Amino acid sequence: MKVALTGGGTGGHAYPAIAVAGALKAEYPDCELLYIGGKNSLEERLAAEAGLKFFGIKSRKLQKLVSPDSILTAAALARGFAEAYGMLAHFRPDVVIGTGGYASAAVVMAQSLRRGKTIILEQDVIPGRTSRWLSRYVTKICLAFEDAAPRFPSSKTVVTGAPIRSELLELPSREDARKSYGLKPNVFTLLVLGGSQGARRLNEVVADAMPALARIPVQVLHQAGPKNIEEAQRRADELAIEGYSVRAYLDDMRSAYAAADFAMCRSGSSTIAETTAVGLPALLVPYPFAHADHQRFNAESVARGGGALAVVESGLNAEILVEIVQSMVSSPARLKEMSAASKKMGKPRAAFEIARLAVDLAGS
């Protein structure tokens, strides 16, 4: 069996594609894989790190409005389509799996015109432009959220969850995880995540709240993002509070999740997929400028299920954060209930479900 994977523009699309590739390699070792994505892109590097054969095509972000730039976008899409069609004709995949992002549009469309089997993954409650456009042409649509189902043809959809990295399927002990990050073993631990690039507003709020959090006591493991690390580290140095650890990246996410009692993070689909898979209750703060405000809808979906609290960025400040964290520290039973609800919503084996669906389509 041959499978081509595509999905790029951001790590949020590339990482799920790589997770599905990992599941295919683990469950179906004879499967031949090819990753098709944007030339000289993040996904090209990530595919190489994952040991995947990569073919680069021309790509450009789809525009929301008609503008002079739309001509360049159309030209890039046409060129990317021609390149993708040629490679697919050569590789002849049984199935193409697209995980969203503008780089995937040309590849999925090329496979559809070849009358080949196609799967796309929609990771948000509110579908992106690429998924909406492709939905009429593809064979199957895998959804991360059940709330997204009414927006697609029911005959094509299946709720699989969003793929996560396989190493998160088994976490270390809390004691070992906290030790690896230099945290105290018996202090309530807040994990702050702003996504791969960090979130400046979350950085500001947690720094402002840190003196009060330390008195509870709460220790904080804070991923500030590479663009904001200097500012965040300066604030941390000024505060000089023991138990406040600021990092640009958290290289060992297994230990970061295992160490935490509670998280504050954005509500991108990958973050939600991971926190629910490990059953980590969270305060979700949607990125306010996300397309169609989709992060707010993601956060509200998890909050309705009881696995998180949702607060819009404009309504978040240090006092509110301290109040929420204090309520979690004071009520272990509530925290345990939220953890169970989060875990119930999680779909840690989503990558394997999508891989199995691909195999079934290839054989049909």
pTM of this structure:
0.92
For residue 230, with 0-12 CB atoms within 10 Å meaning exposed, 13-18 middle and 19 or more buried, which class applies? exposed
Q: Is 346:161 a contact under the CB 8 Å cutoff?
A: yes
User: Each residue of 347-362: pLDDT tens digit?
Assistant: 999 999 999 999 999 9
C-alpha span between 120 and 136 (Å, rounded)? 11
Parts of the chain with a pLDDT under 70:
9, 59-76, 195-198
Q: Residue 65: its pLDDT value, please?
A: 47
CB 260 within 8 A of CB 245: no
- What pLDDT does residue 63 have? 53
Q: Do domains 2-164+348-363 and 168-345 have the same CATH topology?
A: yes
List own/partner pairs for 136-144 with CB under 8 A and 24 or more apart.
137/108, 137/109, 137/112, 138/98, 138/108, 138/112, 139/361, 140/357, 140/361, 142/350, 142/353, 142/354, 142/357, 144/269, 144/272, 144/273, 144/347, 144/350
Q: Which residues pair with 96 in a beta bridge?
A: 4, 118
Secondary structure string (H, E, C) spanning 38-88: ECCCHHHHHHHHCCCCEEEECCCCCCCCCCHHHHHHHHHHHHHHHHHHHHH
Contact of 275 with 310, CB cutoff 8 Å: no
Q: Which CATH number is associated with domain 168-345?
A: 3.40.50.2000
| Angle CA 195–167–37, to nearest 5 | 60
Domain boundaries, the chain: 2-164+348-363, 168-345
Q: What is the pLDDT of residue 178?
A: 98
Could you tell me how many residues make up the chain?
Answer: 364
Residue where the block lists tokens 């650890």: 245
Is the CB of residue 138 less than 8 Å from the CB of residue 112?
A: yes
Task: Determine the straight-line distance between the first and last CA of the chain, rounded to whole angstroms.
Answer: 12
Q: How far is CA 310 from the centre of its chain?
A: 17
Contact between 194 and 223 (Cβ < 8 Å): yes
Report the CATH superfamily, name and number, of domain 2-164+348-363: Glycogen Phosphorylase B; (3.40.50.2000)
List the one residue out of 235, 218, 244 whose CA is nearest residue 335: 218
